[in-house]
Amino acid sequence: MLNGKQAAAAAEQIRFVLDDEVVTLVNPAPTRTILQFLREDLRRTGSKEGCAEGDCGACTVVLGELVARDGTERVQLRAVNACIQFLPTLDGKAIYTVETLKRQDGSLHPVQQALVDTHGSQCGFCTPGFVMSLFALFKNDAAPDRACVADALSGNLCRCTGYRPIFEAADRMYQCGDQRDWLNRPGTLAANTVDADEQALISQLKALRRETDLRVETGDARYFAPSSLAEFATLREQMPDARILAGGTDVGLWVTKQHRELPVLLYIGNVAELKGIDRSDTHFEIGAAASLTDAFAALNGAYPELAELWRRFASMPVRNAGTLGGNIANGSPIGDSMPVLICLGTSVVLRKGALTRELALEDLYLDYQKNAMQPGEFIERIRVPRSRPGWVVRSYKIAKRFDQDISAVCAAFALHLDAGAVAEARIAYGGMAATPRRAAAAEAALAGQPWQEPAARAAMAALDADYTPLSDMRASSGYRMQVAKNALYRLWLETRPDAPLASAQVNVFQLV
């Protein structure tokens, strides 16, 4: 490991900022996790491992990245799970760990002091992770309400405290300590102005920008991180067996949990052209490398009724790292984005070399973990239609727990209602079949029918013909079928022409 100022990084070097210093690593092992690097290589043991699968948050660190916001260059600070992030993805970023926050003079950061003051730690093992999630919140939000705090902490488990004092700390941190340095000043990233400290960090990160693309080679593994779409497409075509790495929130677990070998990784996260989200008159064009956080924020603008679905999708740190492209490409039968995206008429733009083709999302899925992508092809963009008048859209996630749980069933509906009748129905479910799939029989039962209880009941009954769900540790087949039907009933209650019920009347999570 080399420290200090360097000339432009060579192809096999990664560079990142840690505690204000630039750290350079030569040929880091591609699937070594950030957490292993911190704990084992640096013996920086503040970040903990509680699960090594992104579910407990004990390993939470904050990454700083340059982004363009409203035409201005800004730093973005986001919490991620160090246990499933691969080390080379740190290239060009700043990383903040729990050790970063305490001042040289021994004084605690406001987040840390607040947790002490409110008795927010007991065994303390989860605490560094909570500190980092709260730190990201502290910088990004000057006055979060309880819902925002809960969202920020959705990826942190604590077995000891019951969370009440941690909520209290999230209030108190804004009144704690002095705000001498940038790290200790709340809400600066939410402000419209760039302060001097942020500017300095921007310059530091800019200096890390690469001139040559990153290519790491160790004895048995290679890692490529092209920065242009064209180069990415070329490499992809040349190396159809390479594993594309996006946010790593699926791929990371293959390594930490399944001990799979991934000899060639092709990282999509440096391709700026694929990180953006464009809005045309008719569509959102979501780059395959856009984070789930950014994609959902964009979609929420058009479809506020989906906010709860996205809030319940994984956790904030997983959404910060993970991409919509990855969710779609992974194509899990219990993936949460696909049912509703299918209902909305989403398509994916697939690319191979210089050639692109557009495919309806539902046609991407052939069978369990089999998709229509050809060797050398990848997802370039996701095209989500904007909301259309006359359509009602809903998606309901049903799981054991509100926060960060995999769906037992994820139901999605888009109905075109015209004069009290269903002109067109698009219904899709996750958790009910080997792929996210439309419910043809249920759709047929609704088409052309008055949107009244008999039609809803008929569609519910038709689901028996559409699906034969499995039993597993999340739910029995019987429960899956029952809630799939009841979700349709809930939809009807919420959208029926006569006396529709408010969402708070059919959904406990909307109760206030």
Partner 1 sequence: MNNADPIVRPGASAAHESAHLHVAGEATYVDDIPELAGTLHAALGLSAKPHARIRSIDFAAVTAMPGVVAVLTAADIPGSNDCGPIIHDDPILADGEVHYVGQPMFAVVATSVDVARRAARRAVVDYEVLPAELDPRAARAAESFVLPPMRRVCGEPAQKLAAAPHRLQGQWSVGGQEQFYLEGQVSYCAPREDGCLQLWCSTQHPTEMQHVVAHCLNKASNQVVVEMRRMGGGFGGKESQSALFACVASLAASKLKRPVKLRLDRDDDMMITGKRHDFYYDYDVGFDDEGRILAVRVEMIARAGFSADLSGPVATRALCHFDNAYFLSDADISALCARTNTQSNTAFRGFGGPQGAIAIEYILDSIARRLGLDALDVRKANFYGKSDRNLTPYGQTVADNVIHELVADLEQSSDYRARREEILRWNADSPIIKKGLALTPVKFGISFNVVHFNQAGALVHIYTDGSMLVNHGGAEMGQGLNTKVAQVVAMTLGVPLSRVRATAADTSKVANTSATAASTGADLNGKAAEDAALQIRARLAALAAARFGGTAEAVRFADEQVSGEGWQIAFDELVKLAYEARVQLWSDGFYATPGLHWNRETLTGSPFFYFAYGAAVSEVAVDTLTGEWKLLRADLLHDAGNSINPAIDIGQVEGAYIQGMGWLTTEELVWNDVGRLTTHAPSTYKIPAVADCPAVFNTRLFHNPNHVDTIMRSKAVGEPPLLLPFSVFFAIRDAIAAVAEGNVAPPLLAPATGEAILNAVEAVRAARAQP
Ligand X SMILES: Cc1cc2nc3c(=O)[nH]c(=O)nc-3n(C[C@@H](O)[C@@H](O)[C@H](O)COP(=O)(O)OP(=O)(O)OC[C@H]3O[C@@H](n4cnc5c(N)ncnc54)[C@H](O)[C@@H]3O)c2cc1C
CB atoms within 10 A of CB 405: 16
Tell me whether residue 56 or residue 342 sits nearer to partner 1 (CB atom): 56
Tell me whether residue 158 or residue 338 sits nearer to partner 1 (CB atom): 158
Number of residues lying near ligand X (CB under 6 A): 31
Q: Which residues contact 322 (CB under 8 A, 6 or more apart)?
A: 246, 247, 248, 249, 250, 291, 292, 314
Task: Report the distance separating Cα 353 and Cα 494, nearest Å.
Answer: 46
Element (H, E) at 503: helix 503-506
User: Phi/psi of residue 336, each to 5°?
Assistant: -90, -20
Q: By CB under 6 A, is residue 335 in contact with ligand X?
A: yes
Task: Report the distance separating Cα 91 and Cα 212, nearest Å.
Answer: 12
Of 115, 124, 121, the closest CA to residue 168 belongs to 115
**In the complex, minimum distance from the CB of residue 464 to partner 1, in angstroms, rounded to a whole number:** 16
Of 257, 255, 301, 276, the closest CA to residue 381 belongs to 276
Task: Report the distance separating Cα 33 and Cα 50, nearest Å.
Answer: 14
**In the complex, minimum distance from the CB of residue 499 to ligand X, in angstroms, rounded to a whole number:** 33
Q: By CB under 8 A, is residue 128 in contact with partner 1?
A: yes
Of 52, 135, 134, the closest CA to residue 86 belongs to 52
Positions 27 through 56 that interact with ligand FES (CB under 6 A): 49-52, 54-56
What residue type is 8 in one-letter code?
A
Q: By CB under 6 A, is residue 362 in contact with ligand FES?
A: no
Site string for ligand FES, 109-148 (x = CB under 6 A): ------------xxxxxxx---------------------
Number of residues lying near partner 1 (CB under 8 A): 90
Task: Report the distance separating Cα 161 and Cα 266, nearest Å.
Answer: 41
Site string for ligand FES, 148-187 (x = CB under 6 A): ----------xxxx--------------------------
Q: Which of 81, 156, 227, 346 binds partner 1 (CB under 8 A)?
A: 156
| Selected range binding partner 1 among 1-9, 107-115, 301-309, 425-433, rule: CB under 8 A | 107-115
Tell me whether residue 29 or residue 233 sits nearer to ligand X (CB atom): 233
Structure-token match 């040289």, residue found: 104
Task: Report the distance separating Cα 31 and Cα 258, nearest Å.
Answer: 13
Positions 58 through 97 that interact with ligand FES (CB under 6 A): 58-59, 81, 83
Site string for ligand X, 244-263 (x = CB under 6 A): xxxxxxxx------------
**In the complex, minimum distance from the CB of residue 318 to ligand FES, in angstroms, rounded to a whole number:** 9
Q: Angle 164-172/127-140 helices, nearest 10 degrees? A: 40
**In the complex, minimum distance from the CB of residue 441 to ligand X, in angstroms, rounded to a whole number:** 25
Site string for ligand X, 147-176 (x = CB under 6 A): ------------------------------
Q: Which residues contact 165 (CB under 8 A, 6 or more apart)?
A: 115, 118, 119, 120
Helices (H), 59-195: 98-101, 110-117, 127-140, 146-152, 164-172
Q: Which of 288, 298, 432, 459 binds ligand X (CB under 6 A)?
A: 288
Q: By CB under 8 A, is residue 177 in contact with partner 1?
A: no
Task: Report the distance separating Cα 399 and Cα 43, nearest Å.
Answer: 38
Q: By CB under 8 A, is residue 263 in contact with partner 1?
A: no
Q: Which of 68, 124, 307, 353 binds partner 1 (CB under 8 A)?
A: 124
**In the complex, minimum distance from the CB of residue 165 to ligand FES, in angstroms, rounded to a whole number:** 10
Task: Report the distance separating Cα 163 and Cα 146, nearest Å.
Answer: 12
Site string for partner 1, 296-335 (x = CB under 8 A): ----------------------------------------
Q: What is the DSSP letter of 33?
A: B
Tell me whether residue 159 or residue 400 sits nearer to ligand FES (CB atom): 159
CB atoms within 10 A of CB 461: 14
**In the complex, minimum distance from the CB of residue 445 to partner 1, in angstroms, rounded to a whole number:** 19
Name the site residues for ligand FES (rule: CB under 6 A).
49-52, 54-59, 81, 83, 121-127, 158-161
Name the site residues for ligand X (rule: CB under 6 A).
54-55, 243-251, 268, 288, 292, 313-314, 318, 322-323, 325-327, 329-330, 335-337, 378-379, 404, 406
